[in-house]
Structure 1
Amino acid sequence: MSTDLRYPEPANPAFLFDLDGTLIDSVYQHVIAWRSALAGLGIDLSVWRIHRRIGMSGGLFVTALLRETGLSLTQEQIDDLQHAHAAAYTEQIDSVKPLPGAISLLSELTERGVPWAIATSGYAATARRALDMLQLPEDTPMVTRDLVRRAKPDPDLFLAGAALLDIEPRSAMVVGDSVWDLLAARRAGSLGIGLLSGGYGRDELERAGAFRVYADPADMLNRLDELGVRQSR
């Protein structure tokens, strides 16, 4: 009796990428921009406290920091704070570069026929400026904070990214550099992949749900076989 069992060729997974700290090296520019914006309101916070909240939406970020400091702000002050952060980040945009391997990783996935999209807590006004530095066209699939009701750690961004690719969230792998990315991935029902390029440690990312952790996009590119990505035919 023949034992040559044949099964359908498994499909490549799809990927949903965070942006800041995952594809572009912008985490510390955001930290400095938030510090500058907070200082404008007379709030002096250590850089490490700010860094721990990068990856949240601006509104949740402010709420979390106010809770930690015991301060209170009016809604108008919170809005002014977010605008000041955006302006301070824009002043530093020329210093933001793609992370090692980011351009090659996205190019390789496209060449292999692997679906992917970007899902970021950033607003379109700043996030879409990253497309040029990543050598991506304007019609690149991207979900920004403007397009969803809630940002990370809520799952809305990744659910919207999956819908944009016309796939089930469980068929996607979320790639992010922060615990907020991975918590949102778990709530969306997607596998999470952590990158160390945003400043979080391996243990933190694994505890938040990462089933694989890589140093940066270049490291992930070299290990795509571990994620079930196969050469296109």
Structure 2
Amino acid sequence: MGTAPLHRADALPAGVLWDMDGTLVDTEPYWIVAEHELVAAHGGEWSDALAHQLVGNALEVSAQVIIDHTGIPLGVPDVIDALLLRVIEQVRGHIPWRPGALELLRELNESGVPNVLVTMSWRSLASTIVESLPTGSFAHIVTGDAVTRGKPHPEPYLLAARLIGADPAACVALEDSPTGVRSATAAGVPTIAIPHIVAVPPISGAVHLATLEGLRAKDLLAVATGAASIPAASGE
């Protein structure tokens, strides 16, 4: 686990920094639907394999990949707007929470641990999801349209820790994609990877869990730093 500081086994993290798509909510399939529909509407061809390459990326990067691979006659802002509108439409119909996420979020709030949402989706989508939660569930929201450099750059997670006045090494990040895990670990945040749509390779500074189900607030920091494990966990 590198040079991460030692923590008491039951110490609470200074903050929990949550990825959104694929970690808090199972919205990656919504993005894939939106991509297929947008490309098809302009006479192009898209595939799930290409869609999986976009998981966790900044929206500007994903939009440019779509344009480059399909040749659709749209600019990056147009692609982003179209995708966001379609995903928000699907979310308003049903929010698919990831297993264990709401339970862990609730316990962290009851324990006084600040939570920050760190997503490369834009605020319009993030706000739609956060507004469905109890007020104050997230102390702050860091979105892709609020940072200069998106994941895998460390800026989003450094900003998240700074917003709650915490040392990144005393926080825990929850991520589902290689891009997101690289962003969090590059910021020095002990990270728990919960792979979902795409596999996450071994990355220094991260451990893998199969699910958030059963994960308790008091276990987060010890699990993320490799000081302890739970039955579903394995260290990198």
The TM-score range, normalised by the shorter chain, is: 0.7 to 0.9
Distance 1:138 1:115, change over 3 A: closer
Per-residue CA deviation, residues 71-108 of structure 1 (Å, 9 max, x unaligned), is 6677x622211111112212211133211221110111
Per-residue CA deviation, residues 29-83 of structure 1 (Å, 9 max, x unaligned), is 011112222223332111121122121111111334455x3x6677x62221111
> Is the Cα contact below 8 Å between 1:192 and 1:209 reproduced in 2?
no
Worse overlay, 162-171 or 87-96:
87-96
When the two structures are aligned, how many residues end up with a matched partner? 214
State the alpha-carbon separation in 2 of the partners of residues 37 and 208 from structure 1.
Answer: 34
Counterpart pick for 2:84 among 77, 81, 86 = 86
Residue equivalent to 1:225: 219
Worse overlay, 146-155 or 10-19:
10-19
State the alpha-carbon separation in 1 of the partners of residues 39 and 204 from structure 2.
Answer: 31
State the alpha-carbon separation in 2 of the partners of residues 37 and 30 from structure 1.
Answer: 10
State the alpha-carbon separation in 1 of the partners of residues 145 and 124 from structure 2.
Answer: 9
Distance 1:110 1:83, change over 3 A: same
SS in 1 for 2:181: helix
Report runs of 4+ in structure 1 exceeding 4 Å deviation: 8-11, 71-74
Q: Residue 137 of structure 1: CA displacement?
A: 3.5
Distance 1:38 1:208, change over 3 A: farther
Residue equivalent to 1:102: 101
Greater fraction helix: 1
Q: Residue 138 of structure 1: CA displacement?
A: 7.6
> Is the Cα contact below 8 Å between 2:181 and 2:206 reproduced in 1?
no
| Structure 2: stretches of 5+ with no match in the other structure | 1-6, 224-236
Amino acid at match of 1:220: L
**Aligned alpha-carbon RMSD (Å):** 2.6
SS in 2 for 1:193: strand
SS in 1 for 2:215: helix
Per-residue CA deviation, residues 100-146 of structure 1 (Å, 9 max, x unaligned), is 22111011112223332111111111111111334343863211122
> Is the Cα contact below 8 Å between 1:194 and 1:210 reproduced in 2?
no
Residue equivalent to 1:12: 12
Amino acid at match of 1:182: V
Residue equivalent to 2:202: 207
Residue equivalent to 1:195: 194
State the alpha-carbon separation in 2 of the partners of residues 43 and 179 from structure 1.
Answer: 27
> Is the Cα contact below 8 Å between 2:26 and 2:96 reproduced in 1?
yes
> Is the Cα contact below 8 Å between 2:12 and 2:113 reproduced in 1?
yes
Residue equivalent to 2:132: 133
State the alpha-carbon separation in 2 of the partners of residues 124 and 106 from structure 1.
Answer: 20
Aligned identity (percent) is 26
SS in 1 for 2:191: strand
For 1:21-170, what aligned pairs fall within 5 Å after superposition?
Answer: 21-65=22-66, 69=69, 77-93=75-91, 94-137=93-136, 140-170=139-169
